[in-house]
Structure 1
Amino acid sequence: MIRNPILRGFNPDPSVARVGEDVYIATSTFEWYPGVRIHHSRDLVNWRLVARPLDRAAQLDMRGAPDSCGVWAPCLSFADELFWLIYTDVKRFDGNFKDAHNYLVTAPSVTGPWSDPVYLNSSGFDPSLFHDDDGRKWLLNQQWRHLTDGVGGQPRHPAFDGILAQEYDPVARRLTGPIRDIFAGSPRGLVEGPHLFKREGWYHLTVAEGGTGYDHAVTMARSRRLTGPYELHPDTFLMTSKDVPDAPLQRAGHGQILEMPDGAVYHTHLCSRPLPGTRRSPLGRETGLQRCVWGEDGWLRLAQGGLVPAVEVDAPAGAASPEPSRPVEYRFVGVALPMDFQWLRTPYPGRLFTLTGDALRLHGRESLGSWYEQALVARRQEHHAYRAETRLAAFAPDTYQQAAGLTTYYNRFKLHALMVSHDAAAGGRTLTIMSCPGDWPDGRLRYPATPLPLPDGPLDLAVEARGATQRFFWRGGGEWQPFGPELDASAISDEAGRGEHGSFTGAFVGMVAFDTSGRGCPADFASFRYAPL
């Protein structure tokens, strides 16, 4: 069986492409660098991260991008012996404007080399490239209407002004011909995330609607002509969890049709698993996969019936069993950062960290709230209960403006951090907790523990999250000791702080250092461990 979600933790907006027996899913990364993650599978059950295509300044520079901006909703496809990747780089979140720029890169292999980008347009976000069977190529994207009050943290229908289509000329490498608004969406509203699939002469249009919160849905329509008009699915939606608040997979929407070599049909989708008894999702929006069937009326529906996505669905014949979750140990002994880890915004990671051969050295830069240069290297939280540990091998702060340690991090308003710093009144090096549990818009830090004087030498730092609570631990050569009170782990979630549509990435856990004195005080981390509990 396929067990959902297939990509745990922050992996939203899944676009799928099949090349023979190989299936690839590309997901959004927002302000995290490198941009876009691509996973590979042959059995749809077990997936492996194989590529992060947008890895240099020519392709992506997000310095200054607000939280939850950056790379939105990529589209991955394969045609003409090339992989094609379309993506949006969003520069603004609040207010009437989005400033969303759409680009195209290509590669002969999914692992690259990926080309420099071709600029496409800036009329809206969620671009998609469709390769028609007559050889023509079409760009679709959501159109953003700034002339409305329905914008910002609580989007309303008028800002989402339909799905645009325009032809793309691959020889001239530019869009050409008229721009057409081909689909206004259903009464659910907030139409976005378009993808086309052609079958038996019909253009099937899959879109996301309802916003990326608990009203989210996959809506379908079809037409004999690519440019429309489109008729709505008899059920309007292919899937949604809107009216089933106890369904394990909530916020279901935004996906794409996948047809396997044997004709079996699936549909990707994003989803979330809120903490029990809450409407908070620390794991963010994850990727799911549903088995589908074509009905006698020519419309696609979930194989299990109804509209609610299932946790377990039938896998292709011969698929392996799902691999169990296991602890992952990282020793920073090589010259490359493990692919599980990302950093924020900048295409110049050498300013943030270096690999020394036996440690990950973070160079203290700007604060935990910076949108420019933040020395934070982290991996996704994938389980509601986990433990993460790191060894801080060397760090010698001489001012309270220097700090390094272990953080559970969502964005500048939602974080907890166990930090080693300097406190002259306490005699020098100390351990403290810095916390901002959803304090928007002020972003003020709280200090829920009395600073603890520390011995010289390496320190081990740890965090345990169990559902809606988390706690930090430390040791300096002896036994593990708890430090500080239990903290609100649910604050490190999509819905905490400014609410359901205010941010939509996911929780990370990792290593951080800052030096607001500007001297770049280094912090060496020898190892990191992540273990589901």
Structure 2
Amino acid sequence: MTNTKTVQYRNPVLSGFYPDPSAIRVGEDFYMVTSTFEYFPGVPIFHSKDLVNWEQIGHVLHRESQVNLLSRKSSQGIYAPVLRYHDGLFYMITTDVYGIGNFFVTAANPAGPWSDPIRIPHGGIDPSLFFDDDGKVYVSVQSGFAETSHVIQYEINPKTGEALTEPVVVFEGDEGPWVEGPHLYKINGMYYMMTASGGTGPMHREIIGRSSNPYGPFEMLEHPILTHNALKDHPIQYTGHAELLDDVDGNWWVLFLGVRLFNERGSVLGRETFLAPVTWVDGWPMVDNNEGHVGLEMKVTVPTKQDADVLIQQQEQPKQLVISFSASEPLSMDWIYSRVLPKAGAVSTSSNDGYLTLVGNEKALHDGQDTVYVSRRQLDHEMRFETALSYQPEQEGEAAGIAARLSDHSYYAIALTKQDGKLAVQATLMRNQQEEQTAVAAIDAEAYNTNGSIKFAIQSTLQEYSLLYTVDGENWHTLATAPANDITPDSGGSFTGVTLGMFAHGTASGNSAPAQFSYFKYEAM
């Protein structure tokens, strides 16, 4: 009698803006990375023992000698990292779009430190590495644009990145646009080339071919192995950009991106990471070709080599997260910045114990580059984010507050500022890269100074975001509301998802009083 392993979990296994998952198994341990685009540090790396419970252990791109994103626009930067392991060394290969192009870094420990970049010469975006049994190392990478997109492949020296062969076209997909995210595998003696196709929107799908030769020709499976593009009412859409991997029991799984769509305009959370079992049919790995059995609630029973039946359950995520700041504790690794680490003294937990202190510069949120903005990913469609701010702006135009940010041109923010010599609360609605609208409310300076702080909150439902404040700590005022639709990636032309954070900016001369935030409170509604 074969014992079984039952894996019970809820999709996505990584909530919020975590697209383009790539993962490996090393012994009994799984490791995974995802895309970060213009955010820094880049490429979070996670560890798991069971594929459903993931813990972040670091960032792959954790210093500016590896990547400097200061000149990147929103949704440029780091695309589609691929994680691999060979002969005691971890490899992460990726593209710095409009930067240094394709490169890889290495580490003996997946938690880091990781090396400086080793550049490779050929290809567009989404390079992937494959280490063959005969010692050859292949780069498979997207080339071309939209409908002309295809996969080229060549061999490299894994120590130097030098190309050892000329690139050749090996895979042209299923005639859909954007054949990208290629992964070459060798399973049971056969080579499999698996890619995404159809773009990252409603027609997204994962396709596959196989061959006895790493250069093909690849026999195409006549239909996708994963897509929901014909299931318009399914809660998980845009599925694709997948990674195959097996567990210690020989069962196969796939990690992939998807969107929890709540209307035709997408999701403020962006593309998240989902997990599904793989069934092999006539030598092909099958996941869900519009059958709809990959859902939000999953219970999968598979064989195990263990001596007894096993139940693996996903840990329940707390509904509420409250973070207090301390001089003895730096910010945890799930905080991220826009483009680069802020300059020394711009973001600190040590300059005033008990507070996160931000000192802005002349850059506002819409400037993007070098903005003093520290954030975390929004994890739920319906949520409330709150903080308390102590701040005395000295000059006209200085501001500090909180924001729900999709990009430089799509965000909602509420801040304390100085206008006409008086303290005021200002709401800024930057939408669809087109217009900026503001609402302003004067506040009682005496009451503010008596309390010592002002509280801000951003609250979201499926339909809208609300920007709120209170001076006395009890009576909340809604300063502005705006549609959730207007800061979805589909509407804002973005590859990311919404982040929630605190910001500060000064005047054109760079003047900025310190803005002191005493806590970060996030609650799923």
Q: Considering the TM-score relative to the shorter chain, is it more than 0.5?
A: yes
Quick check: 1:291 aligned with 2:277?
Answer: yes
Say which SS state the counterpart of residue 164 (structure 2) adopts: strand
For 2:9 and 2:31, locate their aligned partners in 1 and report how far apart those are by CA, in whole Å: 16
What is the aligned-residue RMSD (CA, Å)?
Answer: 1.9
- Counterpart pick for 2:409 among 410, 413, 416: 413
Task: Report the CA distance between 1:49 and its aligned residue.
Answer: 1.4
Task: Report the CA distance between 1:113 and its aligned residue.
Answer: 1.4
What runs of 5+ residues in structure 1 fail to find an aligned partner?
A: 92-98, 146-155
- Counterpart pick for 2:313 among 309, 312, 320: 320
Quick check: 1:302 aligned with 2:287?
Answer: yes
> Compared with structure 1, are the counterparts of its residues 251 and 313 closer, same or farther at alpha carbon in structure 2 (3 Å cutoff)?
farther
The match for 1:527 is: 519
The match for 2:138 is: 138
Partner AA of 2:439 in structure 1: P
The match for 1:378 is: 375
Task: Report the CA distance between 1:384 and its aligned residue.
Answer: 0.9
Q: How does 1:48-447 map to 2 (within 5 A)?
A: 48-91=55-98, 101-121=101-121, 123-145=123-145, 156-158=146-148, 160=149, 162-235=150-223, 237-275=224-262, 277-295=263-281, 297-302=282-287, 306=291, 309-311=294-296, 312-314=298-300, 317-333=310-326, 334-350=328-344, 352-356=346-350, 357-365=353-361, 366-393=363-390, 395-424=391-420, 428-438=422-432, 440=433, 442=434, 444-447=435-438
> Compared with structure 1, are the counterparts of its residues 431 and 303 closer, same or farther at alpha carbon in structure 2 (3 Å cutoff)?
closer
Task: Report the CA distance between 1:472 and its aligned residue.
Answer: 2.1
> Compared with structure 1, are the counterparts of its residues 308 and 186 closer, same or farther at alpha carbon in structure 2 (3 Å cutoff)?
farther
- Counterpart pick for 1:448 among 419, 423, 439: 439
What runs of 5+ residues in structure 2 fail to find an aligned partner?
A: 1-7, 303-309
Partner AA of 1:66 in structure 2: K
Indicate conservation of the 8 Å contact 1:375/1:512, yes or no: yes
> Compared with structure 1, are the counterparts of its residues 349 and 292 closer, same or farther at alpha carbon in structure 2 (3 Å cutoff)?
farther
Indicate conservation of the 8 Å contact 1:39/1:51, yes or no: yes
Comparing 523-532 with 486-495, greater Cα deviation is found at: 486-495
| Structure 2 length-normalised TM | 0.91
| Structure 1 length-normalised TM | 0.90
> Compared with structure 1, are the counterparts of its residues 52 and 326 closer, same or farther at alpha carbon in structure 2 (3 Å cutoff)?
same
For 1:428 and 1:41, locate their aligned partners in 2 and report how far apart those are by CA, in whole Å: 52
Task: Report the CA distance between 1:252 and its aligned residue.
Answer: 0.2
Partner AA of 1:240 in structure 2: T
Indicate conservation of the 8 Å contact 1:409/1:508, yes or no: yes
CA deviations on 1:114-146 (whole Å, 9 max, x unpaired) are 11111113530101111112222111110134x
Q: How does 1:445-484 map to 2 (within 5 A)?
A: 445-454=436-445, 455-456=448-449, 457-484=452-479
> Compared with structure 1, are the counterparts of its residues 144 and 401 closer, same or farther at alpha carbon in structure 2 (3 Å cutoff)?
farther
Task: Report the CA distance between 1:354 and its aligned residue.
Answer: 2.1
For 1:209 and 1:302, locate their aligned partners in 2 and report how far apart those are by CA, in whole Å: 16
Indicate conservation of the 8 Å contact 2:506/2:512, yes or no: yes
The match for 2:305 is: none
Comparing 304-313 with 465-474, greater Cα deviation is found at: 304-313
> Compared with structure 1, are the counterparts of its residues 64 and 458 closer, same or farther at alpha carbon in structure 2 (3 Å cutoff)?
same
Quick check: 1:512 aligned with 2:503?
Answer: yes
For 1:125 and 1:304, locate their aligned partners in 2 and report how far apart those are by CA, in whole Å: 26
Partner AA of 1:353 in structure 2: V
Indicate conservation of the 8 Å contact 1:101/1:122, yes or no: no
CA deviations on 1:408-467 (whole Å, 9 max, x unpaired) are 11112211111100012xx511111011122x2x4x320135444542221221121111
CA deviations on 1:191-239 (whole Å, 9 max, x unpaired) are 000011211221111101110111101111111111111111132x111
Indicate conservation of the 8 Å contact 2:177/2:197, yes or no: yes
Number of residues of Structure 1 aligned to a counterpart in Structure 2: 501
Task: Report the CA distance between 1:304 and its aligned residue.
Answer: 9.4
Task: Report the CA distance between 1:173 and its aligned residue.
Answer: 4.0
For 2:159 and 2:52, locate their aligned partners in 1 and report how far apart those are by CA, in whole Å: 38
The match for 1:34 is: 41
Task: Report the CA distance between 1:249 and its aligned residue.
Answer: 0.5
CA deviations on 1:367-421 (whole Å, 9 max, x unpaired) are 111232100111111101111111213x111233210001111112211111100
For 1:388 and 1:461, locate their aligned partners in 2 and report how far apart those are by CA, in whole Å: 8
Indicate conservation of the 8 Å contact 1:204/1:223, yes or no: yes
Say which SS state the counterpart of residue 369 (structure 1) adopts: helix
Say which SS state the counterpart of residue 254 (structure 1) adopts: strand
Comparing 353-362 with 444-453, greater Cα deviation is found at: 444-453
For 2:258 and 2:396, locate their aligned partners in 1 and report how far apart those are by CA, in whole Å: 41
Task: Report the CA distance between 1:175 and its aligned residue.
Answer: 2.4
Say which SS state the counterpart of residue 115 (structure 1) adopts: coil
CA deviations on 1:79-120 (whole Å, 9 max, x unpaired) are 1111111111012xxxxxxx6701111111111111111111
CA deviations on 1:299-340 (whole Å, 9 max, x unpaired) are 111279837633324166431343233311111203421222
> Compared with structure 1, are the counterparts of its residues 477 and 495 closer, same or farther at alpha carbon in structure 2 (3 Å cutoff)?
same
Say which SS state the counterpart of residue 163 (structure 2) adopts: strand
> Compared with structure 1, are the counterparts of its residues 354 and 478 closer, same or farther at alpha carbon in structure 2 (3 Å cutoff)?
closer
For 2:373 and 2:343, locate their aligned partners in 1 and report how far apart those are by CA, in whole Å: 10
CA deviations on 1:330-361 (whole Å, 9 max, x unpaired) are 11203421222101101455364122232221
> Compared with structure 1, are the counterparts of its residues 62 and 107 closer, same or farther at alpha carbon in structure 2 (3 Å cutoff)?
same
For 2:72 and 2:217, locate their aligned partners in 1 and report how far apart those are by CA, in whole Å: 37
